[in-house]
Structures are given as structure tokens and as C-alpha cells.
Amino acid sequence: MPDSSLATVVRAAAQRLADAGVPDPLVDAELLAAHVLGVRRGELQAAVIRGDAMDEDRRVELEGLLERRAGREPLQHLTGTAPFRHLELSVGPGVFVPRPETETVVQHAIDALLGDSDPSPIAVDLGTGSGAIALAMATEVPHARVFAAEISPDAHAWARRNTAGHENVTLVLSDLADAFPELDGTVAVVASNPPYVPDAAVPRDPEVRLFDPSLALYGGEDGLDVVRVLSTTALRLLRPGGLLVIEHGESQGAEIRDLLVADGWRAPATHRDLTLRDRATTALRP
């Protein structure tokens, strides 16, 4: 009879994922086992120490998830959730999985909203995907009114699920260039994590290359096609002195600053993330 102890099950799961080349195999094994058992990772680790076992039905369920993860399907697709700041977002096929680096990007937008003198400042998230940036602004600055636009019907469906019940968030399915004409000249902050990967720079990670939607990844020959649209749209939406926040790749800061200066923006500045890589550029509406 196979050893059904959690310690043995988790150890074997981690080895299987390691053999498949999955980064952080033990973390993923623990998270998948915790998902199957309906507990948090810390609770699973405590159960391992106690010597708890996993019944056969749950071992079979875990086996199916391990097979998919070994095929490099994203962990978040298997658990159905992705953490973002204090949020747990629903994600799956058709939507970009939010990344930790975007958590530092949205802080620029949140700080600007918190410091705004308007009792109900307006923020816009262009290309909201799962709704991560919009929901971070809406929940951490609850007196703000947040508007989010997404062009992909698949991603919009996930954002609709995540934003349901948040009364200060308005979500639309819209081309970014035409979003929210009724807000022209009234917005305090426009934030975006646009597609910025150059078309020829196919990501190495199978989780990204095979499962993240192309619409959320690729931004034209130089990766900046959507950034150019953002610049024009944000100039329309923002009031004078309003802040634009754009996430981008670590080598794109200088080119984006030049683009923004050419469009008439003031004080463009590029900021590093927690790994000290250039990650976001901000600018002020003249």
C-alpha cells in the first residue's frame, strides 16, 4: 500500500515538478496540495509536521493537477486564483495572470490618488485584464471612482467577475483609444499595464508563451504600439497635472520617456521595481 502521508505525497509531487523543469517545485507542490485539501499553505505545512495523511480521492485529484502543472500550465489556472497585493483574483484561460512587479507599479497610482485634493478623485485603468490595477486602486482608495476598460471579451469576463460588488468600479468592454469620452479632462490618474513585448521577442517561459493571451503580451515591432495609444488617450482623459503610470520592460524606459516628451507630457520619470529593474514610467499632463 503506498505511503499516503502528506509529507511523502508533497515530496513526491515536488520531485515530479522539478523533473519537469517547473520553477520553485516545492512551493507549487505545497500550493496544489493545499488547494486540493481546501486549506492555506501554512495549514498544509502544519499538517505535514503533524504527520497527517491524504485520502485516495484527493491524491487522485492532486495527480491530475500535477500532470497539468508538469505540462507547464500556470499554477494560477489550476487553483483559479492569483494573489495581487491584498486581493485574491479569479483567473484562468483568456486573461493575463497578474505579476508581483505590477504591485509596485500600481503604488504610484495609489499614492497620487491618496494625495489628491478632490474628495472623490477619478482613476482609469486602461487594459485592465483581470481587473488587478483597477481593484487595487478602488479598494485601497475607497473614496476614488475607478473606471476600467478591456478590449478582450475573454479578459473582460474575468474582470467582470472580479469587480462584481465593488460599487466604485465601472467596467467596460472597449477599445482603449475610445474609452470613457465622458471623462475627458476630469481624470486624476491613468494607469496601465499594456502589452509591451516586441513581436519577435517570444517569451521563454512556457507558462507565458503558451498560456498568456497574445493580446496581453505583444505590442508591435518595438513593443510600444499600445503605449503610443495610451499616451494619446491619457492626454484626452487627464485633467492638467494628472498622472500617467505605465508599466513596461526594463529596457524600454528611455524610449517611452522620449515618446512622452514628443507628445507634450511633463516630467517623465522611470522607476525601478523591487528587483531594481526599470519597471514603470510616470508623467504629468500639461
What is the amino acid identity at position 117? S
Give every CB contact of residue 109 below 8 A, 6+ residues apart in sequence: 123, 133, 137, 189, 191, 243, 245
| Per-residue b or e along 27-47, where b marks 16 or more CB atoms closer than 10 Å to that residue's CB | ebbbbbbbbbbeeeeeebbeb
Q: From CA 80, how far away is CA 158, in angstroms rounded?
A: 11
Residue-level pLDDT at 202: 87
Name the region of 38 (left: φ>0; alpha: ψ -120 to 50; beta: rest): left
Closest CA to 124 of 84, 178, 85, 196: 178
Whether 279 contacts 105, CB under 8 Å: yes
- Which residue ranges of the chain lie beneath pLDDT 70? 1-3
Architecture of the domain spanning 82-284: 3-Layer(aba) Sandwich (3.40)
Distances (CA, A) of 226 to 41, 154, 203, 255, 282: 38, 19, 18, 14, 16
Bridge-based pairing of strands 238-247 and 278-284 is antiparallel
187 grid coordinates = 481624470
Supply the pLDDT for residue 60: 94
d(C-alpha 203, C-alpha 102), whole Å? 18
pLDDT computed for residue 250 by the predictor = 94
Residues 43 and 63: beta-carbon distance below 8 Å? no
Q: What are phi and psi of 26, to 5 degrees?
A: -65, -40
The predicted pLDDT at position 3 comes to 66
Alpha helices (H) along the chain: 6-19, 25-37, 41-50, 56-70, 75-79, 100-114, 132-140, 153-163, 206, 214-217, 225-237, 253-263
CA distance 260 to 269: 10
Give 25-70 as a DSSP string. HHHHHHHHHHHHHTS-HHHHHHHHHHT-B--HHHHHHHHHHHHHHH
Are the CB atoms for 169 and 148 separated by under 8 Å?
Answer: yes
Q: Write the single-letter amino acid at 7.
A: A
